[in-house]
């Protein structure tokens, strides 16, 4: 294993951060709906089913974005895909701000989802492919860091815009053009992924990129390992994802992606106002809670980045899934018995912190590293399509379940899912810290 001193750390973190700005778009769109929903309910006279569909329409776009990105990334490279994601997001943000009716709004939110979906797949994959094994977990977690910064900044902006009349939601969405423009400019500076360059026969260019990342020893070892992993590889197709040799990794990737959503935490992010309204909090308090959630989310994501390459992926996933299961039961009881908003807030923030240090970053790290080089593009897209499909089901069903069962009811269900997730991780997820992508691939083949 190469000595970490032989890496150009500043350069690696720089390109990882620029790529991870795509995560900021994800965080923005994720949070903007929480602040805008109280206004949109009035603007479009939403029923619980339409509220769920409006919230989930982003996820449907994300599914389309992942499918487009997988193919695009393997054919033309990771960099053009990242640029297209930024462009789509910028245009759709402006469009949403000028929505004259619900249909127009839904179409453009679906379009924004295409940009978010492309970025959600390509950013972690790109970072994993440019990062040395020793720091790959931390670097991929940078993507989650930009997601949570996006959530926090957007929640703060929403809070300050909330007093600007019934059209405040238009400003909330329209401001998405700012981070997408910054992301687009940043991507122009990024090098192409050396692993993609090797796969498309551009070895000299791959070597130039690797020279900027690490020492001659690192370049030589990495080139040989990539070359070996690509022997016998053909153009990627979705059929390859279900071949027997790679099936175990694909099953783990898809299950973790679905679990990260069905664990239920995104209901807390997207429907903060609904949850706190159920215990009598006013609009100002509801939006203030979204800011608290953003701050706690950021602090514990930083903690996760520091620990993911030390403690490892598996222990964090186990602690996170079990911790959430217990906290959801407590939260459900608090909501059911109309505890004061301040007390409910404590349990919500404990759940957010548990998720932020475990399932949130670690799922993305694992998805970016467990698939073999020759199918990483399409396998990642299958896993992340599954993630967005699960997200749509989660956010679509919550307003309907909350109407029938009360805001507390669904949390008993999420507690059960987290317990099942704990047993799945215990039985099926192997530790990946400190191994190169090629070493992980060899271990997969041996097993």
Q: Is the pLDDT of residue 37 over 70?
A: yes
Select the more confidently predicted residue: 121 or 172.
172
Q: Are 197 and 64 in contact (CB under 8 A)?
A: no
Q: Where does the pLDDT of residue 414 fall: very low under 50, low under 70, confident under 90, or very high at 90 and above?
A: very high
Q: Is the pLDDT of residue 426 over 60?
A: yes
Q: Are 111 and 123 in contact (CB under 8 A)?
A: no
Q: Where does the pLDDT of residue 369 fall: very low under 50, low under 70, confident under 90, or very high at 90 and above?
A: confident
pLDDT of the residue at 109: 95
pLDDT of the residue at 91: 95
**pLDDT, tens only, 117-129:** 999 889 988 888 8
Return the SS3 of 191: coil
Q: Is the pLDDT of residue 432 over 60?
A: yes
For every residue of 63-80, DSSP letters joined together read HHHHHHHHHHHHHH-HHH
Total Cβ atoms within 10 A of residue 233: 13
**pLDDT, tens only, 190-247:** 999 888 888 888 888 988 888 888 888 888 888 887 777 676 555 667 777 777 877 8
Residue in the structure block whose two tokens are 């982003």 = 58
Q: Are 63 and 407 in contact (CB under 8 A)?
A: no
β-sheet bridge partners, residue 7: 214
Q: Is the pLDDT of residue 137 over 80?
A: no
pLDDT of the residue at 288: 87
Average pLDDT on 85-96 reads 94
Q: Is the pLDDT of residue 434 over 70?
A: no
Q: Are 326 and 183 in contact (CB under 8 A)?
A: no
pTM of the model: 0.80
**Taking Cα atoms as reference points, which of 22, 94, 97, 99 lies closest to residue 62?**
22
For every residue of 248-278, DSSP letters joined together read HHHHHHHHHHHHHHHT-HHHHHHTHHHHHHT
Q: Is the pLDDT of residue 152 over 50?
A: yes
């Amino acid at each position: 294993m190469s000595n970490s001193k032989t890496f150009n750390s500043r350069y690696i973190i720089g390109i990882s951060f620029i790529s991870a700005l795509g995560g900021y778009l994800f965080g923005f769109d994720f949070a903007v709906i929480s602040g805008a929903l109280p206004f949109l309910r009035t603007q479009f006279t939403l029923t619980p089913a339409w509220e769920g569909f409006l919230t989930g329409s982003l996820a449907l776009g994300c599914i389309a974005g992942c499918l487009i990105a997988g193919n695009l990334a393997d054919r033309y490279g990771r960099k053009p895909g990242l640029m297209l994601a930024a462009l789509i997001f910028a245009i759709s943000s402006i469009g949403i701000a000028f929505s004259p009716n619900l249909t127009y709004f839904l179409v453009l939110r679906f379009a924004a989802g295409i940009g978010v979906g492309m970025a959600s797949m390509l950013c972690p994959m790109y970072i994993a492919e440019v990062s040395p094994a020793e720091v790959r977990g931390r670097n991929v977690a940078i993507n989650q860091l930009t997601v949570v910064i996006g959530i926090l900044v957007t929640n703060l902006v929403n809070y300050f815009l909330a007093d600007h009349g019934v059209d405040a939601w238009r400003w909330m969405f329209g401001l998405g053009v700012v981070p997408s423009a910054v992301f687009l400019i940043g991507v122009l500076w990024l090098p192409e992924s050396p692993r993609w360059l090797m796969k498309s026969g551009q070895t000299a260019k791959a070597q130039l990129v690797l020279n900027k990342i690490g020492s001659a020893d690192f370049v030589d070892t990495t080139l040989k390992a990539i070359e070996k992993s690509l022997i016998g590889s053909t153009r990627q197709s979705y059929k390859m994802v279900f071949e027997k040799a790679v099936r175990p990794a694909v099953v783990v990737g898809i299950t973790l992606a679905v679990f990260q959503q069905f664990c239920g935490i995104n209901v807390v992010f997207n429907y903060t106002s609904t949850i706190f309204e159920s215990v009598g909090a006013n609009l100002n308090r509801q939006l203030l809670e979204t800011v608290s959630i953003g701050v706690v989310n950021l602090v514990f994501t930083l903690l996760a980045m520091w620990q993911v390459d030390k403690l490892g992926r598996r222990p964090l996933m186990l602690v996170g899934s079990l911790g959430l299961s217990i906290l959801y039961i407590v939260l459900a009881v608090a909501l059911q018995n109309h505890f004061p908003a301040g007390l409910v807030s404590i349990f919500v923030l404990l759940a957010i912190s548990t998720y932020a240090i475990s399932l949130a970053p670690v799922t993305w790290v694992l998805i970016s590293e467990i698939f073999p080089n020759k199918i990483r593009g399409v396998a990642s897209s299958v896993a992340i399509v599954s993630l967005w499909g699960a997200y749509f089901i989660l956010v679509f069903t919550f307003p309907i379940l909350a109407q029938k069962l009360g805001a507390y009811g669904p949390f008993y269900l999420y507690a059960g899912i987290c317990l099942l997730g704990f047993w799945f991780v215990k039985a099926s997820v192997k530790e990946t810290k400190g191994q190169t992508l090629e070493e992980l691939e060899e271990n997969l083949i041996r097993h």
